[in-house]
């Protein structure tokens, strides 16, 4: 039976909940809710497992903080024997407009500390990543405050639409493959 590991990047702790930087956690929380599953604490993160049409999906929210995400991902890739092509990392992206999503199958870390950690641990960059646009509406020197800030009310409709599309893209990735997911949902 094929297994997929979908990792939402974020930081553990209530103070980071619902921040732009934790959009990976938010997307996985929403998907777990849709399939009526609850995350349980496990080694290096919180986990949910479920099946879609005979395929096992494992959702992971690392508890190692963003900068050490690779450690958690490596553990679960090895523990569950996940083929590298069945790994998807979900993260925030300053370069995309708010709520837009884009699946890429390789690339640089783009300055994202979570991806930096993954690439340092695995020594490669050829894994799927779902980038979720958070925009870049911040003043010079205020990037950290912006990324760790909560969504504005006027953004929520775009963000919720992006979360819905992200879940559809991820399900398509599992059921039909990366090419199909990219053709259908990359904006």
Question: In whole angstroms, how far apart are CA 184 and each of 102, 172, 176?
Answer: 11, 9, 11
| DSSP H or E segment with residue 185 | helix 178-185
Helix, strand, coil shares, percent, the chain, to 5: 45, 25, 30
Within the chain, what is the greatest distance between any pair of CA atoms?
Answer: 49
Q: What is the CA radius of gyration of the chain?
A: 15
What is d(CA 60, CA 110) in angstroms, rounded to the nearest whole number? 22
Catalytic pick from 21, 33, 112, 161?
Answer: 21
21 is catalytic: yes
Q: Give the integer Cα–Cα distance in Å for 125 and 107.
A: 6
Residues catalogued as catalytic: 21
């Amino acid at each position: 039976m094929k297994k997929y590991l979908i990792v939402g990047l974020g930081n553990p702790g209530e103070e980071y909940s619902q921040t732009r930087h934790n959009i990976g956690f938010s997307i996985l929380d929403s998907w777990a809710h849709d399939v009526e599953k609850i995350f349980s604490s496990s080694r290096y993160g919180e986990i949910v497992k479920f099946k879609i049409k005979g395929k096992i999906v494992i959702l992971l929210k690392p508890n190692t903080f963003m900068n050490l995400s690779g450690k958690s991902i490596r553990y679960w890739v090895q523990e569950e024997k996940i083929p590298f092509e069945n790994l998807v990392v979900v993260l925030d992206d300053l370069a995309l407009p708010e709520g837009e999503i884009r699946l890429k199958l390789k690339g640089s870390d783009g300055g994202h500390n979570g991806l930096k950690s993954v690439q340092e641990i695995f020594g490669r960059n050829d894994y799927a990543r779902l980038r979720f646009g958070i925009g870049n509406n911040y003043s010079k020197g205020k990037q950290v405050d912006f990324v760790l800030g909560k969504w504005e009310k006027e953004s929520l409709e775009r963000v919720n639409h992006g979360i819905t599309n992200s879940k559809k893209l991820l399900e398509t990735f599992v059921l039909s493959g990366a090419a199909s997911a990219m053709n259908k949902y990359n904006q």
